[in-house]
Structures are given as C-alpha cells and as structure tokens.
Amino acid sequence: MLKIENLHATVADKPILKGLSLSINAGEIHAIMGPNGAGKSTLSYVLGGRPGYEVTEGSVDFDGQDLLDMEPHERASAGLFLGFQYPVEIPGVSNVQFLRESLNAQRKARGLEPLSGGEFLKVAREKAALLKMDMDMLKRPVNVGFSGGEKKRNEMVQMGILDPRLAILDETDSGLDIDALRTVGDGINSIMRRPDKAVLLITHYQRLLDYVQPDFVHVLAAGRIVKSGGPELARELEEHGYAEIAA
C-alpha cells in the first residue's frame, strides 16, 4: 500500500530524514518509535504534504500513485489520514460543517454523490459514540477550548468519519489519560483494523501498543530506520531505552 524508498527531507534547509525506507502492506499495523528529534513528526508531515517540509531525495508510492506529487487535499481523497500530534484550533468553523464539507470534497474527488446533512449526521453520531465523544463537542468550533485529550479523541472521530485506507497517527497517545487511551485504542482497532487498511503509529511509548497490537515495530533514529522487528521490539525498547538499541 505504502512504499517509502530512501527518503531524504529537510525542514528550513536542515536535513532531518536521511534515507528512510519502509513498506506497509494492507492489513498491517506498523509502529515507529524513536527518541526525540529522530524525525518522527517530520516523517508524518512529509507524508501529509505539509508546506515547508521539502523532499530532496527518494520516493513514496501510495497504491501505485506518486504521493509526493499530490497536494494535501488530494492525498486525503486518495485515502490518507494524518492524525496530528497538535490538532489545530480554528475559531468560528464548526467541526460538523468542516467535516461534512471535507468528506463531501473527498467523495466528489472519487466520483461519489455528496452525503446529505441527515446522512452525514448519522455517520458522525455513530463515530462520536464509538470514541465516547459528546455530539455537542462536534458542533463546537474545531478544537477550540478542547483539552489535549479531547483534541486527540476528535482526531479519531474525524478518522472514523473520513474512513481512510491508511492512517498515520502522530503521537495520538500523548495527552491521554488511561481511560481515554483505552477508548482511543479501541477506536483505532474498530476503524482501521481491516484487511484493506493500514496504520502507521508514531509513538514514544509502549503503552498505546498494549491496546493496538502492531505487526511490526521500527526504531527511527537520526532520520533513518535503524532496527525493525515484531511487537517484542517495543517491549525491549521500553526495558533498555533507545540509546542501547539505536546505537
């Protein structure tokens, strides 16, 4: 589904990713762990097409399409979802209106009819319930006045509504208390654990992986994947720290 080859990227002319390669197949959940400054968030933004993140070498293929050649909204329509580490507050723009317009823009790009207000609300209600989020919060301006945990839950509700094929979740577990962590973990499993979907979890800690069992774990250090393994690698990292493994 996703094939990253020898990816090099810079932010403000500073090289961050230095030859990263990674393949993700449909039906797989991958976790990327790594110390601060390794390039984890840069990887998620490069894949999401954030302006200012410049690819200097390498390629990313998403279902046979050149991902790097696509605008951010085209990547979304192609089935990519980026869960932000710091979801953005947008005063005055209601969550519901924003998500309905986004979903319908994606449907239009795929040649599907737009959802009516009623149809959309039915989907939104179902996903909000799944993530145990109050419907009233969905009617409020995007992330404004939300706590850190509520923002992350809102990201997962958005993921549920937009129903992507590949989700890249950048530290979705940070800022969550234990109950919220379980809810979010259950949400990821229920929305994304399908034979035709895949997930790339970016995290510092083992704890989210207790709820969302990865098939593969990779260690990112200094802009490259330095080690890959199964779920046991995450536990090793938790025990021994990055310094030993990444060295």
Which residues of this protein are in contact with other proteins, per CB under 8 A?
Answer: 48-51, 71-73, 75-77, 82, 84, 87-93, 97-99, 101-103, 105-106, 109, 141-142, 158, 162
CB closer to other proteins, 93 vs 226:
93
Residue 199: phi, psi to the nearest 5? -135, 140
CB closer to other proteins, 202 vs 219:
202
CB closer to other proteins, 11 vs 226:
11
CB closer to other proteins, 77 vs 206:
77
Query: Are the beta carbons of 139 and 98 closer than 8 angstroms?
Result: no
- Shortest reach from residue 238's CB to other proteins, in Å: 31
CB closer to other proteins, 114 vs 229:
114
CB closer to other proteins, 109 vs 135:
109
- Shortest reach from residue 154's CB to other proteins, in Å: 12
For residue 210, count other CB atoms closer than 10 A to its CB: 14
Q: What SS3 class is residue 205?
A: coil
- Shortest reach from residue 136's CB to other proteins, in Å: 19
- Shortest reach from residue 216's CB to other proteins, in Å: 25
- Shortest reach from residue 96's CB to other proteins, in Å: 12
CA distances from 210 to 149, 186, 196, 218 (A): 18, 11, 23, 16
Q: Measuring CA to CA, which residue among 19, 15, 36 is closest to residue 242? A: 36
- Shortest reach from residue 107's CB to other proteins, in Å: 9
Query: Are the beta carbons of 55 and 240 closer than 8 angstroms?
Result: no
Residue 25: phi, psi to the nearest 5? -100, 160
CA distance 224 to 93: 38
Determine the Cα angle at 61 with ends 57 and 63, to 5°. 175
Which tokens go with 95? 């969550």
Say which residues have a Cβ less than 8 Å from residue 51's Cβ, sequence separation at least 6.
Answer: none
